[in-house]
Structure 1
Amino acid sequence: DPDALIAAVAQALKQLSAGRVNQPLRAVMPFGPSPDIDPSQPPGLLFLKPAQIGDALATKLITLVPDNAARGQPTLMATVLLMAPDSGAVLAVIEASALTALRTAAATAVAVDALARPDASVVAFLGSGVLARSHARLLKRVRPIREIRVWSRDPGNVQRCASDIGGIPCQSAEQAVRGAHIVCTLSNAVEPILAGRWLLPDAMVAAVGAPRSSWRELDDEAMRHPVIADQREAALKESGDVIMSGASVYAELGEILLNRVPRPAAGQPVIFKSLGLAIEDAVAAQLVYQAALREPGSGGSTP
């Protein structure tokens, strides 16, 4: 249920900003065919993300291998372990690549609902992978989307993605972004692909890619606008967009949802920096587990 997922992620972000969750920063390890690799340019990254929110205790293992695209394999693969908070016993092992894409899009949907203009209808996706597909599905739950533009560095992927989601393929990032009310950067880029000068005065940007402190999707001009993060600590320590631009974090999204911090003044672009949080994985995994228990013949357990 997309609406239930969006609501659960919104509640999780509120609890995070209220200090009611247990979530350390993620651990990240470079890896490759052998341990002898250049850590600044690794073939792959392994992420470990544990968290507890309420009675949802989970950890997620993720591998990110950009070169997998050329092999016809997913660039991101993930597994979530959901555990009983009283005993630590494993309740479910969930192949979570699709789950990750949906909960990431759910967080963006929460941000769009809080920050984008109410009549926002034109969206630009800089990225043409699984995240573009999940975002196309969930953003329609919170705004009257009528046009989706798609750009990435691979024209073939752009055409396939645009066909899948009913979008418009674009030949450049600028073509996609100019005139868009909402811009989602959903790429594997390590250098900026979005220029602030392309943005409408009241555009809302969801910066979803660039998960390392040395990677970027947005240029300095874009990052001069107010930045709202899913988690302030994570953005300041893990986001290359924030660190390398010297940007400050105006607020956490949960603080705005709780009305502890006002929404940035109208008439200027707003940036949502999404690092992807373990609490989002935990609540999403719990929804999947509970749905599985309701299935006829489940016998109170999941495969």
Structure 2
Amino acid sequence: MLVLGRSQVEALIDMDALIDALAQAMADLSAGRASAPDRIAVLVPEKEGFLAAMPGYAPSTGVLMTKLVSLFPRNAGTLLPTHQAVIVVFDPATGAPSALLDGTAVTAARTGACSALSARLLAREEATVLAVLGTGVQARSHARAMCRVRPIREVRVAGRDPAKAAALATELTSVLDADVQAVPTYSEALDGAHVAAATTHALEPVVHRPWLTPGVHVTSVGYNPAGREIDDATIADALVCVESRHAALAPFPAGSNDLLMPIRHGIITPEHVHAELGELVSGDKPGRTSPDQITLYKSVGVAVQDAVAAALVVTAARMRSVGEEIMLA
């Protein structure tokens, strides 16, 4: 069995290849060619956390896998990530386990990459200003991924802790060909932004409709069992897209409060979800229809994303052959 730790997985992930592979995987999911059943989770209510199992099969990459992922929002601000995971890859021909991967790095990369895919499909071609809301793992992943699909020249970082926002801005300055600045508030980050990446565990929305510039593309990947990132007015006004309608509108903890709450409040109906990413990729549904239209991608994460990322990592590892940094057990 191939065993890959976090640093090895990070070194083997090709973000451009991952974004491209996710496009096919999302199309397969929407067309019913990929298998990604509802995730199941055990709750740890005293910590507001859960442990979930996410099996998936993506025929476009020939990978069968399952991810075990824990989500503990209270880890935010500590040395531990809020999301921690392992992935086991199986041979789709025999069912034999073939690889064990650190899933934390895969989750970080595939989430940012799929948000970048949504920007490729929905953001304006000339988008140059990116707002990053949050200062954690996903903030880093999204800043790097978005710059792969749009000519981003300015990045504004905002978070609850100004010191962490400043530190992330300094870090990103060294790896991005853009002017990266920390700003004091979410509203300042969003003012004039062409793309916005919300990556928080916010209890109250960090994206409010009056703060948004016409034509902005918003991505939201944050999770809080009692909260949400996006306000009702933004959801109501935006062209809303998801990975999977079934997953996004499923009951807690699988679905998204950002959509479920306005549905419960009577602000929108389930039909307000315009399209799945796969339907945009295949052309079955149209994307942006005007330069001033606000578009929004709400992510809850689906297993085929992990499957595609794991397949790329395992293929890259085997192509490089077994070296000192890759252990065969």
TM range (shorter): over 0.9
Correspondences of 1:123-142 after superposition (within 5 Å): 123-142=130-149
- In structure 2, the residue matched to 1:275 is 300
Q: Is 1:245 aligned to residue 262 of structure 2?
A: yes
Residue 98 (structure 2) pairs with residue 91 (structure 1): yes
User: What residue in structure 1 maps to residue 176 of structure 2?
Assistant: none
How many angstroms apart in 1 are the aligned matches of 2:167 and 2:280? 37
Match of 2:3 in 1: none
Deviation larger for 230-239 or 63-72: 63-72
Deviation at 1:204, TM superposition (A): 0.3
Aligned mate of 1:143, from 121, 146, 150: 150
Q: What is the deviation of 1:109?
A: 0.9
**1:23 counterpart residue number:** 36
State the match for 2:209 in structure 1: 196
Taking the aligned partners of 1:211 and 1:66, their CA distance within structure 2 comes to 7
Give the direction of change, closer, same or farther, for the CA distance of 1:184–1:70 in structure 2 (3 Å limit): closer
CA contact (8 A) 1:201 1:268 kept: yes
Q: Which amino acid aligns with 1:243?
A: L
Taking the aligned partners of 1:115 and 1:211, their CA distance within structure 2 comes to 26
Is 1:290 aligned to 2:315, yes or no? Answer: yes
Q: Which residue of 2 aligns with 1:222?
A: 234
- Sort the Cα spacing of 1:88 and 1:71 in 2 relative to 1 into closer, same or farther, 3 A: same
Q: Residue 45 of structure 1 aligns with which residue?
A: 50
1:168 to 155, 169, 181: 181
Specify the code of the residue in structure 2 equivalent to 1:108. S
Match of 1:3 in 2: 16
Preserved contact between residue 119 and residue 144 of structure 1 (Cα < 8 Å): yes
Contact preservation (8 Å) 1:292, 1:302: no
Conservation of the 8 A alpha-carbon contact between 2:198 and 2:219: yes
Task: Tell me the CA shift for residue 262 of structure 1.
Answer: 1.1
Q: Name the count of aligned residue pairs.
A: 294
Q: What letter is aligned with 2:262?
A: S
In the alignment, structure 1 residue 76 sits paired with structure 2 residue 83 = yes
1:297 and 1:284 map into 2 onto residues whose CA distance is 20
Offset from partner CA, 1:12-56 (integer Å, 9 cap, x none): 00111111011111112222xxxxx45xxx442212111101121
Query: Structure 2 stretches of 5 or more lacking a match?
Result: 1-13, 174-179
In structure 1, C-alpha distance between the alignment counterparts of 2:191 and 2:243, rounded to whole Å: 26
Alpha-carbon displacement from aligned partner over 1:82-125 (angstroms, at most 9, x marks no partner): 11112221111101212111111110111000100001010001
CA distance in 1, matches of 2:279, 2:328: 36
Query: In the alignment, is residue 114 of structure 1 matched against residue 127 of structure 2?
Result: no
Measured in 2, the distance between the counterparts of 1:12 and 1:170 equals 36
> Whole-Å Cα distance in 2 between the matches of residues 67 and 83 of structure 1?
32
Which of 69-78 and 113-122 deviates more? 69-78
1:284 partner amino acid: A
Deviations 1:123-176 (A, max 9, x none): 001111111111121211111011111111122211111111122111111000
Question: What is the alpha-carbon distance in structure 2 between the residues aligned to residue 179 and residue 146 of structure 1?
Answer: 13
Q: The residue matched to 1:250 in structure 2 has which SS?
A: strand
User: What is the CA-CA distance between 1:277 and the residue it aligns to?
Assistant: 1.3
Contact 1:292/1:298 (<8 A) preserved: no
Identity of aligned residues (%): 39
The unaligned stretches of length 5 or more in structure 1 are: 32-36
Task: State the AA in 1 paired with 2:71.
Answer: L
For the residues of structure 2 that align with 1:71 and 1:145, how far apart are their CA atoms?
30
CA contact (8 A) 1:215 1:239 kept: no
TM, length-normalised to structure 1: 0.92
Question: Does the 8 Å contact 1:210/1:241 carry over to 2?
Answer: no
CA distance in 1, matches of 2:234, 2:208: 6
Q: Residue 84 of structure 2 aligns to a residue in which SS?
A: strand
1:254: how far off? 0.8
SS at match of 1:128: coil
